[in-house]
């Protein structure tokens, strides 16, 4: 017997319809690429998204067509996602921090028919364009007054583009499993791989991100996704914030510590989210200026392990709750949040921050397990580590255009991370499987070592890689960027680390560098470091 409830497919346009109905005047505030702040509302975002949908339909854009976006977090970028998906086309985020060859590969492989882009990226797009033969038109997120001279094919200013229609348009209806978005993830080897989100997966995922033990979003929050829309589906905030009816602040192109601080304070941001590098920048700005955070309540930190020093500084110095989050592009992207179950809610001091180092427990819609290399399930005891595998309605089952099978016989996807899970369900990433340092048959977590090192008051950033060792196979090398005008020695740092980790985890050497390379999504690039130090030998 089937249930007798209505057929109400989980389509993305329902999110913006809901926000515009229940929260029509809630503000959507953006730092525009042209400079000034722009203020709009969910009512207007919906209206303009409808206009875009209407205009795209008039241009012959059909169900399943891919439209690239090469842009910062702004209201225009946001409404383009709703407009594109509202007719069953697919937003395809292009990360401008990737190399040109990668962008060309991604846009071609994804089959982009049009590209929407910011003014900042016109020069970049002009270099890519000769290699993107399928792209029929470029739409620049600006108005006629700021429209640059460009060689881009059929280039048009976004404001002109949508002004040719009146918005009297119905969203298209289709199956909720229809593709909605695409984001390529770069592995360390081979070409980037296309992850394809559906309407249903994005809606379910956004609901799971709003929940109280997740980001706990409500209409009383002011949410600022610092994490770019082009990084892993904006951690769902482009959907979950409107779904919650939260005020939305889009920070545009300026993501340095001072700019992030200013926008948090002037726009009363209560919840924000980004990778640790952004927060290291903000904390350094606060430290050097003596400024205080007066508005912020919660900050979600993920994408790579959040250093303990960052959690402690936010919570103890500035009174901002840190929610450590973990996930990956293939998971829409969030798989766990480190919020407090009653079993651990009374923890204080060191024990609390030990817990907050963990990546947390899976939210509803994410099944998790850890296994050994043969697929045997390992216990949740907080000590045994194994390969972390996940399944759920917002987890990938395949990559776009690739035949390779990526699920095990129970339908789980191998994340490539190595983790423990404790008796309360809190998962702790030991490392990426390929970054873990294999010393004498035992494993050393590069993440744990980095976390301890970055707690030294003179250290700005730390990275650990394994270096070949005759006797042990591999041993850890600690790479340090010192804070400005500070000169800690190797001995200072070794003394600081000693006692905080097992003796045999102590790095065999330390090198000081001016900067550590980052990937296009702001993580430490272990691959580049391994290349750079490939000839390094411990003396």
Q: How many residues bind ligand AMP (CB under 6 A)?
A: 20
* Residues 332-361 as x/- pattern, contact with ligand AMP by CB under 6 A: -x-------------------------x--
Does residue 329 touch ligand AMP according to CB under 6 A? yes
Q: Which helix (H) or strand (E) holds 526?
A: helix 526-532
Nearer to ligand AMP, 333 or 507 (CB): 333
Nearer to ligand AMP, 17 or 461 (CB): 461
Minimum distance of ligand AMP from residue 346's CB (angstroms): 24
CA nearest 327: which of 304, 296, 307?
A: 304
Nearer to ligand AMP, 176 or 435 (CB): 435
Distance CA 70, CA 92 (A): 9
CA nearest 159: which of 63, 34, 66?
A: 34
Does residue 185 touch ligand AMP according to CB under 6 A? yes
Q: Which helix (H) or strand (E) holds 239?
A: helix 237-244
Does residue 507 touch ligand AMP according to CB under 6 A? no
Q: Catalytic positions, please?
A: 185, 330, 438, 443
The alpha carbon dihedral of 114, 118, 119, 123 has a sign of negative
Minimum distance of ligand AMP from residue 186's CB (angstroms): 7
Site residues for ligand AMP, 296-325, by CB under 6 A, read 302-306, 324
Minimum distance of ligand AMP from residue 308's CB (angstroms): 12
Nearer to ligand AMP, 52 or 305 (CB): 305
Distance CA 226, CA 250 (A): 7
Does residue 362 touch ligand AMP according to CB under 6 A? no
Site residues for ligand AMP, 43-102, by CB under 6 A, read none
Q: Which helix (H) or strand (E) holds 428?
A: strand 427-432
Only one of the segments 11-19, 209-217, 327-335, 501-509 lies at the binding site for ligand AMP (rule: CB under 6 A); that segment is 327-335
Minimum distance of ligand AMP from residue 235's CB (angstroms): 9
Nearer to ligand AMP, 432 or 500 (CB): 432
Distance CA 279, CA 272 (A): 10
User: Residue 249 in contact with residue 267, Cβ under 8 Å?
Assistant: yes
For the chain, give the number of residues. Answer: 539
Q: For residue 43, count other CB atoms closer than 10 A to its CB.
A: 17
**Strand 179-185, strand 90-93: pairing:** parallel
Among 16, 135, 206, 232, binds ligand AMP (CB under 6 A): 232
Which letter, b or e, does each residue of 189-217 get, where b requires 16 or more Cβ atoms within 10 Å of its Cβ? eeebbbbbbbbbbbbbbbbbbbbebbbbb
Q: DSSP string spanning 148-171?
A: PP--STT-EEHHHHHHTS----PP
Minimum distance of ligand AMP from residue 92's CB (angstroms): 16
Site residues for ligand AMP, 386-445, by CB under 6 A, read 415-417, 429, 432
Does residue 454 touch ligand AMP according to CB under 6 A? no
Minimum distance of ligand AMP from residue 262's CB (angstroms): 26
Minimum distance of ligand AMP from residue 116's CB (angstroms): 22
Distance CA 161, CA 505 (A): 59
**Strand 437-439, strand 442-444: pairing:** antiparallel
* Residues 95-134 as x/- pattern, contact with ligand AMP by CB under 6 A: ----------------------------------------
User: Residue 332 in contact with residue 395, Cβ under 8 Å?
Assistant: yes
Chain residues that interact with ligand AMP, rule: CB under 6 A: 185, 232, 302-306, 324, 326-329, 333, 359, 415-417, 429, 432, 521
């Amino acid at each position: 017997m089937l249930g007798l409830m209505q057929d109400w497919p989980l389509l993305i346009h329902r999110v913006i319809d809901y926000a515009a109905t229940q929260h029509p005047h809630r503000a959507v505030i953006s730092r525009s690429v042209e400079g000034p702040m722009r203020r709009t509302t969910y009512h207007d975002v919906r209206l303009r998204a409808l206009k875009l949908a209407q205009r795209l339909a008039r241009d012959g854009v059909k169900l399943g067509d891919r439209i690239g976006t090469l842009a910062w977090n702004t209201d225009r970028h946001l409404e383009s996602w709703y407009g594109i998906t509202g007719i069953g086309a697919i937003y395809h985020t292009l990360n401008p921090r990737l190399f040109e060859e990668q962008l060309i590969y991604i846009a071609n492989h994804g089959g982009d028919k049009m590209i929407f882009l910011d003014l900042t990226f016109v020069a970049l797009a002009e270099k890519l364009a000769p290699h993107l033969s399928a792209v029929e038109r470029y739409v620049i997120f600006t108005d006629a007054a700021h429209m640059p001279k460009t060689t881009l094919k059929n280039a048009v200013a976004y404001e002109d583009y949508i002004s040719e229609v009146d918005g009297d348009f119905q969203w298209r209806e289709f199956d909720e499993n229809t593709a909605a978005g695409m984001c390529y993830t770069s592995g360390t080897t081979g070409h980037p791989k296309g992850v394809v989100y559906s309407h249903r997966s994005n809606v379910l995922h956004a609901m799971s991100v709003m929940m109280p033990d997740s980001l706990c979003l409500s209409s009383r929050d002011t949410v600022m996704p610092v994490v770019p829309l082009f990084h892993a589906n904006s951690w769902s905030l482009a959907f979950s914030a409107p779904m919650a009816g939260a005020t939305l602040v889009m920070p545009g192109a300026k993501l340095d510590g001072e700019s992030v601080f200013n926008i948090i304070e002037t726009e009363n941001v209560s919840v924000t989210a980004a990778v640790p590098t952004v927060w290291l920048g903000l904390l350094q700005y606060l430290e050097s200026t003596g400024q205080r955070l007066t508005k912020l309540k919660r900050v979600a930190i993920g994408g790579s392990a959040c250093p303990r020093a960052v959690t402690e500084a936010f919570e103890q110095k500035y009174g901002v709750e840190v929610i450590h989050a973990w996930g990956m592009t293939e998971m829409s992207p969030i798989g766990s949040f480190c919020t407090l179950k009653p079993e651990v809610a009374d923890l204080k001091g060191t024990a609390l921050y030990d817990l907050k180092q963990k990546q947390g427990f899976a939210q509803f819609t994410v099944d998790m397990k850890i296994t050994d290399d043969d697929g045997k399930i390992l216990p949740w005891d907080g000590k045994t580590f194994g390969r972390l595998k996940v399944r759920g309605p917002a987890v990938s089952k395949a990559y776009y255009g690739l035949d390779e099978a990526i699920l095990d016989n129970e339908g789980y996807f191998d994340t490539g991370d190595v983790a423990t899970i404790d008796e309360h369900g809190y998962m702790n990433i030991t490392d990426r499987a390929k970054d873990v340092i294999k010393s004498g048959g035992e494993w050393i977590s590069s993440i744990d070592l980095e976390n301890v090192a970055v707690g030294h008051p003179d250290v700005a950033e730390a990275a650990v890689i394994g270096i070949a060792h005759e006797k042990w196979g591999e041993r850890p090398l600690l790479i340090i960027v010192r804070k400005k005008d500070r000169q800690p020695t190797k001995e200072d740092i070794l003394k600081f680390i000693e006692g905080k980790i097992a003796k045999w985890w102590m790095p065999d050497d330390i090198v000081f560098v001016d900067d550590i390379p980052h990937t296009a999504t702001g993580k430490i690039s272990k691959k580049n470091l391994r290349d750079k130090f490939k000839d390094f030998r411990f003396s």
